[in-house]
Amino acid sequence: MKYSNMTIKELDKLIKENRSAENYENIIAELIQDSRKGVQNLCKREIRHIENIKQKQELSKKMFSVEKRLLDQGFNYIAGIDEAGRGPLAGPVVVASVILKSYEVNVLYQDSKKLSESKREILYDHIVKNSLSYSIELIDQKQIDEINILNATFEAMRKSIENLNKKPDYVLVDGNMEIPGLTLMQKNHIGGDENIRVISAASILAKVYRDRLMLEYDKKYPLYKFAKHKGYGTQEHISLIKKYGPCEIHRKSFLGNIL
């Protein structure tokens, strides 16, 4: 194909259509020889794209290293577990556990807090479709007030693991504590949602599920703007609690310094 006879618009379309093709980098290498400024700009963009993909692949490999080591040791069903919503003033704490089917170098699960809402939604669907098993459990604000947030989180974690369709033979837990009362082999990892693929996947499931719940609560309790802050203690949320008082989903044990 004679790329020199093609317009910049045509080349742009060709490049984008072939980004997943085997000869993609060969196309860019050939286009670099084209002296047209527009083509050079396209090439610079694509070189950045290639470098970005390679960086993500390297990070993906690094985040898979803990699971790979366990797989090499003979563990077959490795579950990751994480929570969303320990700190908010309202709503439940949500825990997700997941066992992934396989490792895909081109799919990067990252800590849910580092992702945009739209990216989390896309990855949520991908994780659900590509999991061997997943389970999402919650503990509501009433039980949080009764047994405290730490115990509530552990209770949700135990339930989430128990409700997996496939029993894990090893559990990777985000945070600085293992799950009390869990009879399975487990290991906690501080910053696991940033460094371990299967924990990152669990963090995305928990975050998206909880955010969706808070959007529904926003419809029921519009005065508190839960869709905006998801129940966290922002200045606006605190001022609304002071103005209207707590609603049904507020954690009364979290409001001692506010009311």
Residue 256 in domain = no
Look at 5-14, 67-76, 156-165, 168-177 and tell me which has the smallest mean pLDDT: 5-14
The whole domain housing 10 covers: 3-63
Half-sphere exposure of 111 (CA within 13 A, CB side): 10
- Report the SS3 class of residue 134: strand
Sheet with 186-189, strands from edge to edge, namely 131-139, 93-100, 78-84, 170-174, 186-189
Same domain, 159 and 191: yes
Domain stops at, among 42, 63, 84: 63
Please indicate, yes or no, whether the overall pTM of this predicted structure exceeds 0.85.
Answer: yes
Residues 200 and 108 in one domain: yes
Average pLDDT over every residue of 123-133 = 96
What confidence tier does 1 reach under pLDDT thresholds 50, 70, 90?
A: low
- Taking the C-alpha atoms of residue 43 and residue 60, their distance in angstroms, rounded to an integer, is 25
Q: What digits encode the pLDDT tens for the residues 171-207?
A: 999 999 999 999 999 999 999 999 999 999 999 999 9
Render pLDDT for 21-56 as a digit per residue (tens, 0 to 9): 888 888 999 999 999 999 999 999 999 999 998 999
Residue 121 to residue 215: CA distance in whole angstroms: 14
- The answer on 79 and 58 residing in a single domain is no
- Do 162 and 114 fall into the same domain? yes
**CATH number of the domain encompassing residue 85:** 3.30.420.10
How far apart are alpha carbons 38 and 73 in whole angstroms?
52
Across 55-75, b (16+ Cβ under 10 Å) vs e yields eeeeebeebbebbeebeeeee
| pLDDT tens-digit series, residues 89-100 | 999 999 999 999
Instruction: Indicate whether 219 belongs to any domain.
Output: no
d(CA 149, CA 152) in angstroms, rounded, equals 5
Specify the number of domains making up the chain.
2
